[in-house]
Chains A and B, each alone.
Chain A
Amino acid sequence: MSRILVPCHVKGTVALQVGDVRTSQGRPGVLVIDVTFPSVAPFELQEITFKNYYTAFLSIRVRQHTSAHTPAKWVTCLRDYCLMPDPHSEEGAQEYVSLFKHQSPSMTFPKWLSHPVPCEQPALLCEGLPDPSRVSSEVQQMWALTEMIRASHTSTRIGRFDVDGCYDLNLLSYT
C-alpha cells in the first residue's frame, strides 16, 4: 500500500456572491477554494485530508481531461457533504476530515490525467471490500505505530516523580 502526498497549490478563498464585491454589504455563505496540481504526473487520488474551520457543507468539483482532443469538463464528486451537523454550534467546527475515493457517489474520483500515459501507473488500491487478512495486517501496522509511540515516551508508569531522589524545586515554569 504505497500512498504518497501529492503536492498541490491551494489558492485563497473567493466569495460567491451576486453583485459588486466592493459595494455590497453582508457576508456570503459560500466560498470557493481552488486547488491545482502543477507539474505532477498522472495519479489516482485516494484521499483528501484537511482541517475544518467552521465550514458546514462541502462540495467538490473536479475538472478532468478525458483525452487530448475533447475539452476538459467539470464533474461534481461530492455535493453538500455535511461537516457540521448544526452549523450554529461548535460540533465539527474544527475537526480533521478525510474524504475517500469510495465516498464519491460517482464511484471513483476521476483519474487525474492530463494525457494518457500507459507506462506510468502508480500502485493502485484494490477496489471493493477489503479482505480480512488485509484488515489484520492493518491492525499489525497500527500496533507497530503504537509501539513506536509508546517506546518514545519517557515512561511515567514507574511512579517516580523525583530526579535521582531529588525533588527540590524552584518555581513553576510558564512555558
Chain B
Amino acid sequence: MLQEESDLSLIIAQIVQKLKGSNLYSQLERQAWASLQRPEIKLESLKEDIKEFFKISGWEKKLQNAVYSELSVFPLPSHPAAPPEHLKEPLVYMRKAQGSWEKRILKSLNSMCTELSIPLARKRPVGEQKELLNKWNEMGTDEPDLSLFRPVYAPKDFLEVLINLRNPNYENGDSLSFRTHLGLIQVPLKVKDIPELKECFVELGLNIGQLGIDDSTQVPPELFENEHVRIGQKVLAEQDSAAAQQYIRQGSPTALRAELWALILNISSQPEDVLYYEQLKTNVIQHDLLVDSLIYKDVKLTASNDDYYFVFEDYLYQVLLCFSRDTSVLSHFAYNSASPPKSYIRGKLGLEEYAVFYPPNGVIPFHGFSMYVAPLCFLYHEPSKLYQIFREMYVRFFFRLHSISSHPSGIVSLCLLFETLLQTYLPQLFYHLREIGAQPLRISFKWMVRAFSGYLATDQLLLLWDRILGYNSLEILAVLAAAVFAFRAVNLMEVTSLAAAEAVLADLSTLKKT
C-alpha cells in the first residue's frame, strides 16, 4: 500500500510538473481569473465554483485530455535508484548495442562530410535566404545535384545489427540446438502469443464490426457503419481523447479521421503553434544543414516515385526540414534508447558551452524516413498542423522503429513477435522458407520499419494507423506482417529462392488489411 501510494504521488507530481510549463496551464490560469467576474462564482465556495465552471465550459475536459496524453506517452516513473539511462533502456547490452550502432552512423556522416567537403551546417548568405523563401512552397521543383550523397543507412543495414544482438547472460551456443531461435532474432524478449494478442486486441474480434470490412458495398450500412459514424461524431463533439482512442480501434470514418487523430494526439492548432512552426521555417531559411540534402535525396528516391504520394513532395520538404530544426523533439530522448548526436562549434572542440546537438532535433534520417510523413498529407493540408501531427506521431511511435530497445513496441520485439507467430502457426511455411534461404524476416522487416507506408494502399494504411493510435502500440505491425505471409502461404510454399519469395510478396497494394 505504501509503495502504490508513493508511486501514485510520484506520477502525479511528474505530470503536474510537465503540464506547468505548457500553454494549457497559462490558459487555465487566465480562465480562472476571468471567471471571478461571473455571478455564479462565490468567494465562500471559490474552489468548488471554479471547478464547476471548468467542468461546464469544457476546460476540465481539455485538462483530462492533456493528462491522458502525458500518461500515454511518458513511461511511468521508475525506481528512485534507477539512473536516466535505465529509463531509456533497462537492458545494458541493448544500450551498448544502440551506442555502437549510433557510433557507426556518426562515422558514416562524418566521412561523408570530409569526402564531399561539405560542412555539417552553415549560415546561408542573404541572397540564398531570399531565394529559398520565395520558393518555399515549391521546393520540389529544385533539382540539386544529389548524386554524391548517399543515405546514411538503409533498413537492411539496421536488420544486420539486430540479427547480431546477443544477451551475454543467455547461453545459446553457436551450434544449432533446441535452445537456439529458428528465426533471425536471438534475444529472448517477451512477446505476446495468440491468446494474449486476442485479449489485447479484443475489439478486432470477428464478432465486432470493423471499418474496412463491415462498411463495404455489400454490407447494408444500417448494420454497423451508420451507427459507428454517429458515435464518432458524438466522440468529436465531446472532445474526449480517451473515448476517441477507444472508438478508433474499430477504424475511423474517412470524414472524421483527421479530427479524431488530432484529438487522440491532443493537438489543437493554437496561434502559438503556428508561430512556432513559422520560427522553425525561419531557422531553415537561415541555416543550411547537411541533413537537408539527405532529406531531399530521400524524398526524391521514395515518396516522389510513389504513385500515391508524389503530389505531396513539397509538403514533405516543408515538414521534414522544419522537423530537423525542432529542439522540442529532444525531450523524447528521455524515453528513447537512442541519444542525439553531439558536436562543437568550429574551433571550440571539447568546450561544453559550445556543445550543440546535430541536427538540432537529434534525429538523423535514414532511407525511407519521409514515408512516415507522406500518408499524413492525405489528412492535413495546413502545414503547421501537418507538422504537429507528424512530430507527435514520431515521438510516440515511429522512433521505436529505428532504435534498438527491449520495449514491447520496439522494432526488436516486433521482429521477434513476427517470427514467433509465423513459427507457431505456420511451421511448415517457416521451415520451407528457411530451407531455401529466405528467412521471412528479411522480407517483412522493411514493411515493419516503415509501418507499411508505401507497401499498402493508402486507405488500408490509414486503417492500420487507426489501430496503432487506438491501441497505443505497434504490435499490430508484426501481426499484419505474419498475416500477409499466411495469406500468401500457398504461393510461398512453391517458391525455391529468396528472390522468388520476394516477388510473391512484392505487391501488397491489393491486400485489404482488415
Q: Give me the interface of A with B, judged by CB distance under 8 Å.
A: 49, 51, 53-54, 86, 88-91, 93-98, 100, 102, 129-130, 135, 138-139, 142-143, 146-147, 150, 156-163, 166-175
Contacts and interface: CB of A to CB of B under 8 A. Distances in A.
Contact of B328 (A138, A139, A150, A159): A159
B360 A161 contact: yes
B345 A156 contact: no
24 contacts: A49-B81, A51-B81, A53-B169, A88-B188, A90-B187, A95-B90, A96-B82, A96-B86, A97-B79, A98-B81, A130-B5, A138-B6, A142-B9, A146-B13, A156-B328, A156-B330, A156-B331, A161-B325, A163-B345, A169-B344, A172-B109, A172-B120, A172-B358, A173-B341
Given A135-B9, A142-B13, A161-B357, A89 B346 contact: no
B91 A93 contact: yes
Nearest to B103: A174
A173 B344 contact: yes
A160 B123 CA distance: 15
Contacts of B356: 161-163, 167, 169
A143 B17 contact: yes
A90 B168 CA distance: 12
Nearest to B406: A90
Interface in B54-88: 78-79, 81-82, 86
A98 to B, nearest CB: 6
The 8 A-B pairs with the shortest beta carbon distances in the complex, nearest first, are A161-B360, A96-B79, A89-B190, A142-B13, A169-B120, A139-B9, A96-B82, A172-B106
Interface in B181-233: 187-190
A68 to B, nearest CB: 33
Contacts of B10: 142
Contacts of B9: 135, 138-139, 142
Nearest to A147: B17
A89 B3 CA distance: 26
A159 B342 contact: no
Given A98-B3, A100-B3, A138-B6, A170 B343 contact: yes
Nearest to A98: B79
B343 A100 contact: no
A130 B6 CA distance: 10
Interface range for B: 35 or more
Interface of B: 1-3, 5-6, 9-10, 12-14, 16-17, 21, 78-79, 81-82, 86, 90-92, 103, 106-107, 109-110, 113-114, 119-123, 167, 169, 187-190, 276, 279, 283, 287, 325, 327-328, 330-331, 341-347, 349, 353-358, 360, 406
Contacts of B113: 171
B47 to A, nearest CB: 16
A90 B344 contact: no
A91 B406 CA distance: 9
B79 A168 contact: no
B3 A168 contact: no
B502 to A, nearest CB: 31
A170 B346 CA distance: 5
A144 B217 CA distance: 60
A86 B354 contact: no
Contacts of B14: 142, 146
Contacts of B342: 172-173, 175
Contacts of A100: 2-3
Contacts of B345: 163, 166-170
A26 to B, nearest CB: 12
A96 to B, nearest CB: 4
Given A169-B344, A169-B346, A90 B331 contact: no
